[in-house]
């Protein structure tokens, strides 16, 4: 006999969590889904976003979300730089798979250890007026620290979707994932387009990182929990589709929330990774193509 109150609140909390997970995954949908670059260092960029929000709000009394927006161009440039490096080192040589993966894995690791060396292993958090209070609608509790990142995240994804489907560069990005040669014939350089796209995917980490540190205190090693979630959601969502990705994010958020509430938080990490394994085993997007 499960309490209805508890179940509904667990589901609502899961939806809010899913909205946040969508922000975390949208970058991978672009870089892995569309550009076929397995950027497993994505959680490292997200953590960089979190720590950027932390360090700036420590010295300047400004809302962390503002910091997230202000840092967008910085992360965009970082993303473009990383792509350049990746392109010259691997894509040109045509040896993407192992070397590329090892590269990003090394990057993930170096980022985490550097954060430990600079900031230590203590948890860091930010303060904001919406961290703490909750909205109470009848039996439903909506903690503002989850609600606001969720809403901003969905807005961000909607804006990206519009950009991709309406603007020239956006449509070029969608095109390059399908047919690079045709794109060249259209007089757009695929490399330049991919660079912009990868830059965008890392830029989303600026905001995603800010959401993360609003929702929970962060420390360098929590990035690892997100690798599985990100790829699970991306694969489950069909790799390239934003609406699919959002639906997958909500699903995983809800299942994690229900598991944590009814079975205990110690099982929650296995949820996303378990989903991933099952999806990969049953719907192998590999040899069968997308």
Partner 1 sequence: MRTGTFLIAAALVGLAIVVLTRIFFTNEYFFFAAYVVLQYIVLSTAWNILGGYTGYINFGTGAFFAIGAYSSAVLHKLPALLKTFDILIPAVPLPVMIVVGGIVSGIVGLGTGYLTLRLRGVFFAIATLALSVVVQTLIVNWDYVGGSRGIYIIRPAQAPLGGGYIQYLYTLMMALSVISVCIARWIERSRLGLGFAAIRDDELAAEAGGVPTLRLKLIATTLSGALMGMAGAPLPYYVTYLDPGSSFNLAYAVNSVAMPVIGGMTSWVGPIIGAVILGTIQQLATVTISSALNLLIVGVLLILFVIIAPNGIMGLISARQRRRAAIIEAAVQQRQAAA
Partner 2 sequence: MIGQRSSSRRVCRRLAPIAAVLSMLLLAAPPVFTQPAVAQTAPSGNPITIGFSMALTGSLAVNGKSGLLASQIWAEDVNAKGGLLGRPVKLIFYDDQTNPSLVPGIYTKLMDVDKVDLVISGYGTNIAAPAMPVVIQHNATFISLFALDINEEFKYPKYFSMLPVGPDPRPAITAGFFDIVKANKDKLGLKTIAIATGDGEATRNGTDGARVNIKKAGLDIVYDKTYPLTTTDFSPIIRAIQSTNADVVLISSYPNDSVGVIRSVNELGLKTKVFGGNLTGPQSTSIKTSLGPSLNGIITFDWWLPAPAMRFPGVMEFLKTYQARAGQEGVDPLGYYLGPWAYARMQVLGEAIENTKGLDQEKIAEYIRSHSFKTVVGDVAFGEKGEWKEARILTVQFQNIKGTSVDDFRDGKGEVVVGPDQYKAGDVILPYSSNNR
Which residues of the shown chain bind partner 1 in the complex (CB under 8 A)?
38, 40, 85, 89, 95, 97-99, 101-103, 105-107, 109-110, 113-114, 116-117, 224-225, 227-228, 231-232, 235, 266-267, 269-270, 273-274, 276-277, 280-281, 284-288
Residue matched to tokens 């990142």: 149
Helix axes 190-215 and 72-86, enclosed angle (nearest 10): 130
Least Å distance between CB 144 and partner 1? 30
Q: Which does residue 50 touch among partner 1, partner 2, none (CB within 5 to 8 A, set by kind)?
A: none
Contact set for partner 2, span 240-269 (CB under 8 A):
257, 260-262, 264-266
Tell me whether residue 5 or residue 95 sits nearer to partner 1 (CB atom).
Answer: 95
Q: Confirm if 168 and 57 have CB atoms less than 8 A apart.
A: no
The tokens of 178 are what?
Answer: 């399908």
The DSSP H or E segment spanning 123 is none
Least Å distance between CB 280 and partner 2? 25
Helix axes 101-119 and 223-236, enclosed angle (nearest 10): 140
Tell me whether residue 62 or residue 277 sits nearer to partner 1 (CB atom).
Answer: 277
Question: Does residue 138 interact with partner 2 by CB under 8 A?
Answer: no
Question: Does residue 130 interact with partner 2 by CB under 8 A?
Answer: no
Reference 228, options 256, 201, 206; nearest CA is 256
Choice from 73, 132, 243, 284 touching partner 2 (CB under 8 A): 132
How far is the C-alpha of 223 from the C-alpha of 135, rounded, in Å? Answer: 29
Contact set for partner 2, span 176-235 (CB under 8 A):
215-217, 222
Phi, psi for 170 (deg, rounded to 5): -60, -45
Reference 90, options 103, 80, 77, 79; nearest CA is 103
DSSP-H helix ranges across the chain: 4-28, 42-59, 64-70, 72-86, 101-119, 144-166, 168-176, 180-185, 190-215, 223-236, 242-263, 268-282
Q: Which does residue 257 touch among partner 2, partner 1, none (CB within 5 to 8 A, set by kind)?
A: partner 2
Tell me whether residue 59 or residue 168 sits nearer to partner 2 (CB atom).
Answer: 59
Question: Does residue 123 interact with partner 2 by CB under 8 A?
Answer: yes
Q: Confirm if 279 and 235 have CB atoms less than 8 A apart.
A: yes
Tell me whether residue 180 or residue 269 sits nearer to partner 1 (CB atom).
Answer: 269
Question: Does residue 3 interact with partner 2 by CB under 8 A?
Answer: yes
Question: Does residue 1 interact with partner 2 by CB under 8 A?
Answer: no
Q: What is the contact surface with partner 2 in residues (CB under 8 A)?
A: 3, 5-6, 9-10, 13, 117-124, 132-134, 141, 143, 145, 215-217, 222, 257, 260-262, 264-266
């Amino acid at each position: 006999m499960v309490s209805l109150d508890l179940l509904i609140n667990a589901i609502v909390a899961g939806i809010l969590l899913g909205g946040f997970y969508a922000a975390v995954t949208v970058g991978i949908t672009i870089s892995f889904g569309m550009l076929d670059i397995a950027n497993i260092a994505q959680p490292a960029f997200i953590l960089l976003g979190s720590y950027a929000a932390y360090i700036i709000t420590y010295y300047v009394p400004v809302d962390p979300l503002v910091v997230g927006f202000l840092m967008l161009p910085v992360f965009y440039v970082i993303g473009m730089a990383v792509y350049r490096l990746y392109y010259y080192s691997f894509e040109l040589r045509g040896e993407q798979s192992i070397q590329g993966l090892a590269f990003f894995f090394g990057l993930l690791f170096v980022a985490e250890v550097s954060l430990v060396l600079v900031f230590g292993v203590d948890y860091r958090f930010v303060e904001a007026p919406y961290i703490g209070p909750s909205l109470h609608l009848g039996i439903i509790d909506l903690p503002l620290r989850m609600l606001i990142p969720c809403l901003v995240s969905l807005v961000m994804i909607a804006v990206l979707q519009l950009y991709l489907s309406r603007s020239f560069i956006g449509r070029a990005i969608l095109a390059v994932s399908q047919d690079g040669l045709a794109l060249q014939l259209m007089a757009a350089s695929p490399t330049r387009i991919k660079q912009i796209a990868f830059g965008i995917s890392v830029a989303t980490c600026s905001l995603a990182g800010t959401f993360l540190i609003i929702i929970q205190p962060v420390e360098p090693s929590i990035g690892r929990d997100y690798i599985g979630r990100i790829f699970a959601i991306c694969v489950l969502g069909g790799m390239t589709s934003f609406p699919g990705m959002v639906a997958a994010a909500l699903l995983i958020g809800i299942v994690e929330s229900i598991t944590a509430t009814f079975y205990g938080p110690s099982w929650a990490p296995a949820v996303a990774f378990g989903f991933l394994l099952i999806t990969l085993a049953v719907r192998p997007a590999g040899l069968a193509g997308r």
